[in-house]
Amino acid sequence: MLNLSIPIPNVPGRQDLEIEMSMKGFRKKIKLHYRVEVFKWSDCPINKEDRIDCIRDLVDQYSEDWVIYNIGMPTEEYVPLTFIRREDWALQQNWHMS
Q: Is the dihedral of CA 39, 44, 49, 51 positive or negative?
A: negative
Instruction: Tell me the per-residue pLDDT of 46-88, one tens digit each, with 9 for 90 and over.
Output: 766 788 888 888 888 888 999 999 898 888 888 889 899 999 8
Cα–Cα distances (Å) from 7 to 11, 28, 62, 73, in that order, read: 12, 25, 24, 13
DSSP-derived pairing of the beta strands 30-40 and 66-71: unpaired
Angle of CA points 4, 1, 36, to nearest 5°? 45
pTM: 0.76
Q: What is the pLDDT of residue 68?
A: 92
Residue type, 25: G
